[in-house]
Amino acid sequence: MMDNFISQAELDSLLRKNGELNGKEETLMMPEDLDILSEVGNVTLSAASDALSKFLKQKVTISAPTVEALTFEAMAARFATPMAVAAMQIKGDVIGDTLIALEPEAAAAIASIVSGGDPVGDWAASEALAGLSTATLAALTEGVNYTAGYLFEALSEMTGLTVEPFTAETSIWEGDAGKRLAKHFMEKPVCVMTATIGINGQALGALWHLYAGAHAEAIVAGLHKKYNPEASEEDLSTNAVPVPERLPMVEEKPQPAVAPTKTSAAPFTASQATSAPLPEVEVQKPMFAPIKESSKAPQQKNLDLIMDVPLELSVVLGKTKKTIKDVLSLGTGSVVELNKLADEPLEIHVNGKLVAQGEVVVIGENFGIRITQILSREQRVDSLK
């Protein structure tokens, strides 16, 4: 009997061919799945912006993405202008390629920061991309590798899938987008997340994150499996309640909840239920006791719940900026000058936030820090500017 059934893949293929014969455009993904992928993009691109901010030491923002499922030809047509494209392989539960593309202005600004220059240049977009050297493209690749680690870690935590970036390579795409895309996506449908990237409050251009259609479907399926594991197809098919083909045409009318009297010898019938008057019920408003205000605030009890949460405390001795050339020239015995004077207090950070200042002390054979000042809220806000 099982030989008479067709698989879901064969059914999709038949529906696809039927749609082509009828001249209808195929729906690549359901709107509900695209909404789910938008939430995934919010989480993953937010993690990417935090990682890129750390890498560039500049404030990087990435807007909430819009998600589309496009045909291969429609996606290739979007590469009409030059784009800086980082191609990387992913492995784990999802295997294949994924692409991150940047418009010229954004790519040129990031390249300028990596090279130690002004984050916002005045070049034309085409000139900016044409001037990117091999070393700068390699530096962009390093930034993509760093950012991808955070992006796919957030994706794995959200979906329960193991997704790890393997390699990345950045190049400039100027024409032949169809041939270039074909090297990375064997599946024709392509899912693209489109967002706007900005640095230090200035929007620089679009950022695209491209998945193969099969990868996007695997991400949606992973979310369903993680957050609704009991609603699998097997459960729905095996635990379904049988429904009779034909229901009896009997109109059941409500019967009053009245106990039969002792003088009644005959059974209570449906006709008597319809003719007997319903008893009157007295309706009153509910009365509640007044709510007493508790004088004891639960703040201490709430604080007790988080007392065992570990926090990372770090002391910043000083910072400096160096170009790639300066970093490569460092060797054993090299001295790096920091931006701190000898008598200036050191910064004490808790989970990356500046909270206090102090001075170095020696405790036995270890270094320590003596807190000399706890920063006020206004001072902490000023330190973030």
The CATH number assigned to the domain holding 355 equals 2.30.330.10
Task: Give yes or no: residues 188 and 47 share one domain.
Answer: yes
232 domain-assigned: no
Task: Give yes or no: residues 24 and 124 share one domain.
Answer: yes
Side-chain half-sphere CA neighbours of 323 within 13 A: 10
Domain enclosing residue 24, as ranges: 10-227
Task: Give yes or no: residues 210 and 322 share one domain.
Answer: no
Task: Give yes or no: residues 345 and 220 share one domain.
Answer: no
Which of 227, 253, 283 delimits the end of a domain? Answer: 227
The whole-number average pLDDT for the span 167-186 is 81
For residue 296, pLDDT beyond 70: no
Per-residue pLDDT of 347-375, as tens digits, reads 998 888 888 999 988 888 888 888 988 88
Which of 194, 227, 260 delimits the end of a domain? Answer: 227
For residue 23, pLDDT beyond 80: no
CATH number at 82 reads 3.40.1550.10
Task: Give yes or no: residues 356 and 209 share one domain.
Answer: no
Per-residue pLDDT of 84-110, as tens digits, reads 888 888 888 888 889 999 887 888 788
Task: Give yes or no: residues 31 and 162 share one domain.
Answer: yes
What is the number of structural domains in the chain? 2
366 domain-assigned: yes
239 domain-assigned: no
Per-residue pLDDT of 130-168, as tens digits, reads 556 677 677 778 888 888 889 999 999 888 888 888 777
For residue 128, pLDDT beyond 60: no
Mean pLDDT comparison of 44-48, 133-137, 213-217, highest-scoring range: 44-48
90 domain-assigned: yes
Task: Give yes or no: residues 209 and 317 share one domain.
Answer: no
- Please give the pLDDT value at position 195: 94
- Please give the pLDDT value at position 201: 85
Task: Give yes or no: residues 314 and 206 share one domain.
Answer: no
Of the candidate ranges 92-101, 209-218, 301-310, 326-335, the one whose mean pLDDT is the lowest: 301-310
107 domain-assigned: yes
Calculate the CA dihedral of residues 319, 325, 326, 331 and round it to 10 degrees.
120
Task: Give yes or no: residues 214 and 343 share one domain.
Answer: no
Task: Give yes or no: residues 75 and 219 share one domain.
Answer: yes
**C-alpha–C-alpha distance, residues 86 and 101, integer Å:** 6
Task: Give yes or no: residues 174 and 46 share one domain.
Answer: yes
Task: Give yes or no: residues 65 and 167 share one domain.
Answer: yes
283 domain-assigned: no
Which of 227, 244, 277 delimits the end of a domain? Answer: 227
182 domain-assigned: yes
249 domain-assigned: no
Q: With bands split at pLDDT 50, 70 and 90, how would you rate the model's confidence at 281?
A: low
